Structure 1
Amino acid sequence: MLELRPNCECCDRDLPADSLDAMMCSFECTYCADCATNTLSGVCPNCGGELVRRPVRPAAKLINNPASTKRVLKAEGCLPTHAA
């Protein structure tokens, strides 16, 4: 089950479980759509994987399967990357 991390690792923007602006890689590194597109060029700076829109977990399922509350943030922010 996906963690559904609560924030962008680059800018710390809140990304609630129902956000359509959350992007992630296959390791669940999570970014807002703005950072994923404009700063990271769709490439995860941690693993080099593709960033895709994170699925939304239906509200009824969050009752028994809540999103993570652990915030992950790069202290130095994210440096611009270039797609391979």
Structure 2
Amino acid sequence: MLQLRPNCECCDKNLPPESTEALICSFECTFCTACATSILEGTCPNCGGELLARPRRPLAKLANNPASTQRIYKPAGCEKTA
């Protein structure tokens, strides 16, 4: 099950479970749309994978399957790609 991480790893922007601005790679590294497009150019800086829209979990399912509260913030790893 997806963790639905709560923030962008680059800028620490809040990305709640219902956010349409969250993008993830296959390892669930999470970034906001602004960082993913302008800085990372659609590529995860951690694994090199493609960043795609994170699915949104229905609100009724969040009660028994909550989103993660663990924040991962690595601004040094989010430098502009070559």
Alignment TM class, shorter chain as reference: over 0.9
- Listed as ranges, the gaps of 5+ residues in structure 1 are none
Aligned position for 1:21? 21
Instruction: Give percent identity, aligned residues only.
Output: 65
CA distance, structure 2, for counterparts of residue 16 and residue 31 of structure 1? 12
Number of residues of Structure 1 aligned to a counterpart in Structure 2: 82
The structural deviation recorded for 1:77 is 5.3
Where do 4+ consecutive residues of structure 1 move more than 4 Å?
none
Aligned to 1:34: 34
Structure 2 unaligned segments of length 5 or more: list them.
none
Paired position in structure 1 for 2:56: 56
> 1:74 matched to which residue of 2?
74
**Deviation digits for residues 58-77 of structure 1, max 9, x if unmatched?**
10000000000000010525
What TM-score comes out, normalization by structure 1 length? 0.94
